[in-house]
Structure 1
């Protein structure tokens, strides 16, 4: 991390023997004022974070509550939802790229079978308007299971006596969840939100495997653009400046979380 921050203050191609020229904050001025891709990547990263904190978390919580009840085949369902979370992201990217393939993917097959030509004609990863959200669907499929397991662990801390007392008092299922279950899940919720934020802000593998940042940089994010600037374009100064921006954004969430956990341990 220290070396990355240092390199953000230099101009360097990354080649052995190439000079490192100190330019101060010029790389930061460059990415903020002269690099239109940076702001596209920044905007996409913000969109990805916001969606990640809403959609996967909601689905994970619903699944955890549903699979925490006595249910036939409950362990099988838990395993099915969790398996995507242990797969390598690049493998998930390859699989979903096949799913979205306009020639033999699911959309093309369903469109042909049902006579819906419009479905077969959709370019899931080639359409600039929907490519980012198509990749995000793959992210949701992979992330839901891991968050579900965390919520299931948190649900074990909910006192059954409290739930029974609420039901005796006439509370319905929603009231029990809102007034008993959800408050007990607050520590777990904080952990899941922080981990989801970190996973969202550094998303990389899925986009590399599915779009490479295209089409026309419409699926570009900060982590991927930092990599491409440094490794592909041999612009280590701007690339590490972007990485430093990512570091600062991450620390803005992680440091308060660490302070909160320290206070919880002292109680």
Structure 2
């Protein structure tokens, strides 16, 4: 068994089968969907009720960008994988896991909404799409969810990688310096024109464009981790460094 095949198998089995397949859906999201169906059938729910099944999936997608890498990285290196090889496999499997998870999540939401409508129940289904489009459309909601999912997996992983290489103390120092720069620029009036331009945008018309940019930012954040982590040590910097 070559190292590439072993790395792909290790990451895919842990990510796709256990984390996304069993933990996110089999143990949490599917039972949550069934609970909402049972509540709707037995008690009925009003139109003002927000039926939410996506919250745990969003949280765990963001968590996978950190926890998945942290747990698999030393194992893969110990089994003969190279750092660059593991990173490429991790990126591919992470994106695939997000795509499949978001697709399945939206199918469950479609089933939930369809069954509720058959029972003359029309509650809100918690979804980022309710803030961007007026009516439910499966593929529009799927695209919004996919972009949001890519952002959730990419940005937390980038922040983790920065902390991994710099250590807690240096990461906090960098964060504070960036905060100070932002405060000086804002209160010094240097950002006024940019803020006025942004506030003047028609967010309703540009909603889909902005959510697409959000997804691209997630992919960009994921790719930025490659030069940061390709020569990383097996262990992160200590908290005191």
TM class by shorter chain equals 0.3 to 0.5
Q: Given the two structures, how large is their TM-score scaled by the length of structure 1?
A: 0.31
Is the helix fraction higher in 1 or 2? 2
Which structure is richer in relative contact order (CA contacts within 8 A, separation 6 or more)?
Answer: 1
TM-score, normalised with respect to structure 2: 0.34
Q: Flag the structure with larger Rg.
A: 1
